[in-house]
């Protein structure tokens, strides 16, 4: 008898990401002061843990092996980006408006059918995706029922209009 294919439980989530940074305070300035995460605790002077909504940590930041070093090469093996999921489209519009006011540059903005996303880099060159998921019943599907994800330009003016609704 053939064993059934192993799959993870549907409730499985990625709990947190831990990033090596070159300057802990500069990373905290970006993730807390610009993006709005809250500092939950530090571990000595070389690590900090930040979260949204009181969770123990969504992101760990450390300089254990990377203090004072430059960014990792873009064209190498490693983390492509950390994706931060916002609960609503209005929340994504709010962070976009905040980044505009801070004159913080985006590296991209895309509509993927299932989600809308803003892309930027943190001060160490780590990719960051800020996104919201459309309701699952609105996800585009192919005739066979599989997802029809795509990458189209995101209408940023339309996203900002969300703030007036």
pLDDT at 74: 87
Identify whether residues 62 and 138 lie together within a single domain: no
The whole-angstrom separation of Cα 56 and Cα 50 is 8
pTM for the whole structure: 0.93
Give a yes or no: residue 24 inside a domain: yes
Give a yes or no: residue 74 inside a domain: no
CATH number, position 96: 3.10.180.10
Q: What is the domain range of residue 144?
A: 80-165
Give a yes or no: residue 73 inside a domain: no
Q: How many domains does the chain have?
A: 2
Identify whether residues 130 and 153 lie together within a single domain: yes
Which runs of E-coded beta strand occur in the chain?
17-20, 38-43, 47-51, 59-62, 82-86, 108-111, 115-121, 127-133, 152-153
Domain end residue (candidates: 7, 39, 67) = 67
Give a yes or no: residue 131 inside a domain: yes
The whole-angstrom separation of Cα 79 and Cα 122 is 13
The whole-angstrom separation of Cα 54 and Cα 43 is 17
What's the chain's Rg over C-alpha atoms?
18
pLDDT by residue for the chain (165 residues), tens digit each?
A: 889 999 999 999 888 999 999 999 999 999 999 999 999 999 999 999 999 999 999 999 999 999 999 998 889 998 999 999 999 999 999 999 999 999 999 999 999 999 999 999 999 999 999 999 999 999 999 999 999 999 999 999 999 999 998
């Amino acid at each position: 008898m053939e064993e059934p294919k192993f799959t993870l439980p549907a409730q499985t989530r990625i709990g947190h990401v831990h990033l090596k940074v070159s300057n802990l305070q500069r990373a905290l300035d970006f993730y807390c002061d610009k993006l709005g995460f809250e500092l939950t605790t530090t571990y000595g002077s070389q690590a900090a843990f930040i979260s949204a909504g009181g969770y123990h940590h969504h992101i760990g930041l450390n300089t254990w092996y990377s203090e004072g070093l430059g960014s990792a090469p873009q064209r190498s093996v490693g983390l492509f980006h950390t994706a931060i999921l916002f609960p609503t489209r209005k929340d994504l519009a709010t962070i976009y408006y905040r980044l505009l006011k801070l004159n913080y540059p985006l590296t991209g903005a895309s509509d993927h059918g299932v989600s809308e996303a803003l892309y930027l880099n943190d001060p160490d060159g780590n990719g960051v995706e800020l996104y919201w998921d459309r309701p699952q019943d609105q996800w585009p599907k192919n005739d066979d029922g599989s997802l029809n994800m795509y990458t189209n330009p995101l209408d940023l003016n339309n996203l900002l209009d969300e703030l007036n609704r």
